[in-house]
Amino acid sequence: MSREEEIRSELFDHTLNGHAPEVKALTEEGLKLGMNPMDILFKALIPSLEEVGRRFEKGDFFVPEMLIAARAMQGALVILRPLIAETGAKPIGKVVIGTVKGDIHDIGKNLVIIMMEGAGFDVVDLGVNVAPEKFVAAVQQHEPHIVGFSAFLTTTMPMFKVNIEALQKASLREKVHVMVGGAPVTEEYARQSGADTYSPDASIATRQAKAIVGAAQAAESSALEQAVDLIDKTLRKG
């Protein structure tokens, strides 16, 4: 086994057991050896958290185990984030995102943010347990292309619909694209909630966000072309 393979396997085990100092040290060692930050994330840390979830479901793990595993993972994310997210390029679009009211899971949301920032988006993170009024105020203030709702519990998924209704009430629904995601969410559920886009993971979410912004910009420039056309015709008539 190469040292890189050992690091991946040790990262998996130490995250599973919530050993934050080891996870931090192994992440740093892996990076020093030239390991790709995305590999560390997707081939070691995320699979480990998935295993935490499986054990919790079976009753082998309880909330404290889940919490310390999540903390260990967050420690590695602090190190990986700047390496994945910093592009230095001019923002290609704006996104407001948060975990819905009643839900405090944030690792999945934070990964979406890291990947979107890495792709050049300006992302406003509203955090966790975000009330509908807070989403509405942020959309009013930041005028994003996309507002993103994350939910990780079947009991908090209904907040998608509540948030969308709050946007409608504030006459903002037509002005912003609604993207939703989170472990228990499905395409079908997202559609029934009234969302525009469902994303199963952070990298697909980022690809979709690029397409959404591209389409919005194309629509803007076509509206501009039409306006120039109209002015042209009016001037010619005059």
Indicate the residue among 165 and 196 with the shorter CB distance to ligand B1M.
Answer: 196
Is residue 177 a contact point for ligand B1M (CB under 6 A)? no
- Is the separation of the CB atoms in 172 and 85 below 8 Å? no
In this structure, what DSSP letter does residue 88 have? -
Residue count, binding to ligand B1M (CB under 6 A): 38
Indicate the residue among 104 and 218 with the shorter CB distance to ligand B1M.
Answer: 104
Is residue 218 a contact point for ligand B1M (CB under 6 A)? no
Amino acid at 96: V
Indicate the residue among 143 and 232 with the shorter CB distance to ligand B1M.
Answer: 143
Residues 91-150 that bind ligand B1M (CB under 6 A): 97, 102-109, 111-112, 148-150
Label residue 223 exposed, middle or buried (CB < 10 Å: 0-12, 13-18, 19+).
Answer: exposed
For the CB of residue 94, give the shortest distance to ligand B1M in the complex, in Å: 14
For the CB of residue 30, give the shortest distance to ligand B1M in the complex, in Å: 18
For the CB of residue 192, give the shortest distance to ligand B1M in the complex, in Å: 16
Indicate the residue among 138 and 229 with the shorter CB distance to ligand B1M.
Answer: 138
CA distances from residue 152 to 47, 137, 157, 178 in whole angstroms, order as listed: 17, 23, 7, 17
Indicate the residue among 32 and 211 with the shorter CB distance to ligand B1M.
Answer: 211
* CA pair distance 45, 121, nearest whole angstrom: 24
User: Virtual CA dihedral for 82, 85, 86, 91, nearest 10 degrees?
Assistant: -150
Indicate the residue among 106 and 117 with the shorter CB distance to ligand B1M.
Answer: 106
Among 135, 152, 160, 189, interactor with ligand B1M by CB under 6 A: 152
Residues 41-80 that bind ligand B1M (CB under 6 A): 46, 49-50, 52-53, 56-57, 63, 66-67, 70
Strand partners, 150: 99, 181
Structural tokens at position 33: 């050896």
Amino acid at 174: E
Q: Nearest 5 degrees, angle CA 164-CA 168-CA 174?
A: 95
Q: Say which residue the tokens 């990262």 belong to.
A: 11
The set of residues, in sequence order, having a beta carbon less than 8 Å from that of 169 and lying 6+ positions away, is: 136
For the CB of residue 236, give the shortest distance to ligand B1M in the complex, in Å: 47
Which residues of the chain form contacts with ligand B1M (CB under 6 A)? 46, 49-50, 52-53, 56-57, 63, 66-67, 70, 97, 102-109, 111-112, 148-150, 152-154, 179-184, 199, 201-202, 205
